Every structure is written in C-alpha cells, then in structure tokens.
Structure 1
Amino acid sequence: MTYDPLVSPNWLAENLAQAVVLDAPYFLPPDPERSRAEYLEAHIPGAQLFEIDEIASTTNGLPHMLPDPDTFAGGMARLGIDGSTPVVVYDRSANHFSAPRVWMTLRLYGISQVYVLNGGLQAWTEAGHAVANGEEEPRPVAPRKWTLDAASVIDGQSLRDEIEQQGPVILDARSQDRFDGRAPEPRAGLQSGHMRGATCVPFTSLTQPDGSFATPRSCTTCSATRQKRHQ
C-alpha cells in the first residue's frame, strides 16, 4: 500500500479518537508565547501543543535542530506517542509553515504512521468541524527507546564536501528575497544569501490558494525545478 503523508479534515474527524493530534505552530522570530496563546484560543479537540524549540537539540548551538534520542523520547512520552497509533500534525499558517518539520522529525525517529493535515486548521474549520479552547488533559505514555535514522540526515561539513563534488540537488525553501540576500534573516547571527548551487523553491509556492498542498500537476515551481535538474 502506498504511503500518503497527507490526510483530509474529514478523515481526521472520522479517526479523531484513534489518533494523537499535534498542534505545531511556529513563528520567525520565535514567539512561544504567541504559539501557546493561539493554541489556547482554538485548536482541534484533543490536540496537544508541540513546541518545536522544546523538543530540539540542547547541545548543537543552532536553533531548533533535531532532538537527541533522550530529548525526543521525553517529548513523545509527554505527548502520548508510543508509535502504536496514528499521529496527525497541523499548523495554522496559510502555507504549512511548521507542520511538515514536525512530520519529518517523527519520521526520522521511525514513526511510520505520521501525517500532515492538508490545509491545516483553516481547512478543519472550513469543513465545519468544531474547535476547542484552553488546555487539554495530557495523556502521557511510558517512555521508550527511539533511534534516529542518521543515514537520512546530513551535517554541514558533509554537505560542503558534497557541494565540492557537485553531487546533490539542493533546494532552498525560503523566500526568494532571503535566498537572494535582499531580506534580512529573522534569526540573529545568520548570514544572508544561499548555498552555492542551490535552487530557490519557496515553500509558499507549494500550496494552493485554499492552503492545501499543490498537486504535482499544478505546482509550476516543481516543474521548473525538474527542468533545471535535467538540463
């Protein structure tokens, strides 16, 4: 069976009792108080707040890097995730700004049943489904051991070596202005511009006007990238 990482609001409504739902907002510059306030104001019933900067590396020195196994295990236990039930991640942006990052983190630690809610919270409410407010009762589970799929992750030095060999296709998902160095970086201390050889594919170009992900046929940016790769 083909794995589809996206689920619809109606699918989630039908399976809400059997899934762990994660509300995963993020802002640049980081604003955890705003994230929590928006979650408390409205979220999918039963959803737990996933705080990206809390379930992250504490030793890397860079912001919101992949968590180490112990940090990940603690976060999953608090959120009620043990790998036995589906996990659905959403955010409330217009372009899936942060939910796919959480999806990838969980996939890298071996959680196979993890999905992104197509269209996010907006699609959920527009489909006529109810929202809740305030805190949700936590449903923690016993911690378990998780193993990072390190082979699917590359560090800075390794990527630099690959670039020297002109090996990988590098996609930069930031805006064109940040890619070109015309807009300042929202995180202090980071240089403007982009990696040598990278192609700009802004994440905002990968969604449709209603906030759902673009299909391969409708994604003009994807088509342009494929053409460039084969030139």
Structure 2
Amino acid sequence: MNLLVSTDWLAAEMGKTDLRIIDATLFLPAMARNARAEFEAAHIPGAVFFDIEEVSDTSNPLPSMLPPAEKFASRCQALGLGDGSRIVVYDNSPLRSAARVWWMLNLFGAHEVAILDGGFGKWQAEGRAVESGKPIVRHRHFTVWADKALVRDMGQMTENLRTKAEQVVDARGAGRFTGAEPDPRPGVRPGHMPGSRNIPYSALFNEDGTYKPPAEIKALFDAANIDLSKPVTATCGSGITAPVLAFGAALLGKTNVAVYDGSWSEWGAHPHNPVVTGA
C-alpha cells in the first residue's frame, strides 16, 4: 500500500477484511463545526471516527498532546484497529488533520498506514457512496508501542538551538511565522524559533485538496533551504499541521521527520524561550 492512495484505489479495496478506514477530521473552535456530528451525518462506508482531541493527553493543558501508549492502543482497539490492519486515514478539514493521525499511528506502531488523497471532499465530489450513523465495530488487538524518535519536546528543541543538529521547519502560515499576525492563543507571543524555516502546510496542496506532485513538494523544501538528507523536525501551532510536512517529506522518501508536539502553543507561551520575528 502506498503512503498516498487515490479514491479509485480505496473504492476498489473496500470490503477487504484487513482494510480499516479512519475519519480524522478536526476543527478549531473558531471554525464552529462539529467533526463528530458531521461524521455521523455522512462518512465513507465502513469508516470510524478518530477523535484527535479525546485521544490525547487530556491531563496536559496544551492542546491535543500525544496520549500515553496504553491509552492510544485502547482507543484503537475500541475502533477495531489492530495488528495487521491496513489503515487509510482521511479528513474533511482545512487543517488536513489526517496527517496528524497518520503520524500518531506510525509513532505507536502501526505498519501500513496511508492517507486518502483529496480526503472526504474529493470522495463526495466524485459522487461516491456515503453512509450515516455510528459504526458497529469489533474490538481488535493493538500492540502497545511508542517510537519516541518521531517526537520532540521543549527540552530537546532548546538543546537543538545549541547543537543545531536538526533543521526545524514550521508549518504555520507566513504571517504567524514572521509575527506579522498575532497568535490566536492568549499569552502566546508571535514569531518563530531562531533558525527555523517556514513552509506553510497549505502550500503542499492543490486547490482540490490533493497533494501536489513530489517534484513540487521537493521544490518547497528546497526553497526553504531544508536539506532532506539531514535530520529534520517539524513544528506548527499546536502539533496538528506539522505532520503534513512530515508526510510530505515521507512522500519524498524521508520517513523519519520528527514533530515537536507542543509546537508554538508551548514554545511561544514560555517567556524565557527565544522568539524571532520577521522573515
């Protein structure tokens, strides 16, 4: 299974006993939309809803932080996701939140995970079948595992300012990165980490929500002076869109891009962390 699968491919594979489909739609509060309600109104047949906000470390004041491995495995089992499953993730969100769940699944030990190119929007635009309601699933075993090589914390990001061992690429929009726009979170300063580069996650997509061809994605990394032959860590506002850049790099063959889970909602809120404004 490729990392990126088409709607034609998914339609042809539906019904296979090892295939699992996840709706990973997430909206910000300001969007005034309810992802679970929209899922129950219409989703790809056989899909289950992955609640990113709930499958998180809910004891952490930061948004949508990674949950303990045991919680992640438990939630996956309840969704019918298990060892040996081929998993296709999609979303219907401007945040392209399928990439967050793709990253989480890889971090917690799933072996075959793909993203549906164009997501639910493309599926619907093509007039393909949808269903409504809550799916009935059978629990499956999901082995507890966590590959912490794919995640960074604030201490590691601070140490990287000294060592410069890893390139840091920021997925936020240019206005947020430069500090020209205020951060939407109270108490979070605008700007970016010293030495980080900017590739807005939205730049990786065509107008129809499909990913751009690999050559165009590679050109984005090149333009930001990110060398994919060297270590890379992605960051964003709250850890949701940074995985889009990690996925884009994976499409180019670099599958080990780490994500700073706390991202700017953590970094920019700490008064002692250095912050840079401007391009």
Residue 111 in 1 paired to residue 110 in 2?
yes
In the superposition, relative to structure 1, how do residues 40 and 144 fare at CA in structure 2: closer, same or farther (>3 Å)?
Answer: closer
Residue 89 of structure 1 aligns to a residue whose secondary structure is: strand
- In the alignment, the residues of structure 2 paired with residue 229 and residue 111 of structure 1 have an alpha-carbon distance, to the nearest angstrom, of 24
Q: 1:13 to 1:228 in 2, by over 3 A?
A: closer
What is the CA deviation profile of residues 77-103 of structure 1, one whole-angstrom value per residue up to 9, with x for unaligned ones?
111011212111101135x62000000
The alignment of Structure 1 onto Structure 2 pairs a total of residues equal to 226
TM-score (norm 2): 0.74
Residue in structure 1 matched with residue 163 of structure 2 by the alignment: 165
Contact 1:177 1:183 in 2 (8 A): yes
Counterpart of 2:173, as a letter, is S
One-letter identity of the residue aligned with 1:168: E
Q: TM-score normalised to the size of structure 1?
A: 0.88
Tell me which amino acid in the other structure corresponds to 1:127: E
Q: What residue is the counterpart of 1:146 in the other structure?
A: 144
Deviation of the 1:25 alpha carbon: 1.0
| CA 1:26–1:187: 2 relative to 1, 3 Å | farther
Q: 1:184 to 1:227 in 2, by over 3 A?
A: closer
Q: Read off the aligned partner of 1:216 and give its amino acid letter.
A: P
Partner of 2:153: 155
CA gap 1:33/1:214 in 2 versus in 1, 3 angstroms: closer
User: Residue 92 of structure 2 aligns with which residue?
Assistant: 92
Structure 1, 114-123 or 10-19: larger mean CA deviation: 10-19
- Give the superposition deviation at 1:189: 4.0
The answer to whether the 8 A contact 2:168-2:196 is kept is yes
Alignment of 1:62-73 (within 5 A): 62-73=62-73
Q: Is the 8 A contact 1:73 1:145 kept in 2?
A: yes
Q: Deviations over 1:123-146 (max 9, x none)?
A: 212333111122222x13145431
Which residue does 1:24 correspond to in 2? 24
Residue type at the aligned position of 1:156: M
Contact 1:44 1:130 in 2 (8 A): yes
3-state SS of 1:20 partner: strand
Specify the alignment match of 1:221 in structure 2. 220
Distance in 2 between residues matched to 1:32 and 1:81, nearest whole Å = 29
Kindly provide the amino acid, as one letter, of the partner of residue 153 in structure 1.
V
- Match of 1:13, SS state, is helix
Per-residue CA deviations over 1:44-100 (Å, capped at 9, x if unaligned) read 011111110111113433211111112101110111011212111101135x62000
Which residue identity lines up with residue 186 of structure 1 in the other structure? P
Q: Distance in 2 between matches of 1:76 and 1:229?
A: 32
Deviation at 1:26, TM superposition (A): 1.1
Structure 1, unaligned stretches of length 5 or more? none
Output the CA distance in 1 between the equivalents of 2:73 and 2:47.
19
Query: Residues 157-216 of structure 1, C-alpha deviation per residue, up to 9 Å, x if partnerless?
Result: 111111112221111001111112232333444332211111110010001122111112
8 Å CA contact 1:52, 1:102 repeated in 2: yes
1:59–1:227: structure 2 CA closer, same or farther, 3 Å change rule?
Answer: closer
Alignment of 1:175 onto 2:173: yes
**What amino acid sits opposite 1:166 in the alignment?**
K
Which residue of 2 is the match for residue 192 of structure 1?
A: 190
Name the SS for the 1:61 alignment partner. coil
Cα distance change of structure 1 residues 208 and 142 upon mapping to structure 2, 3 Å threshold: closer
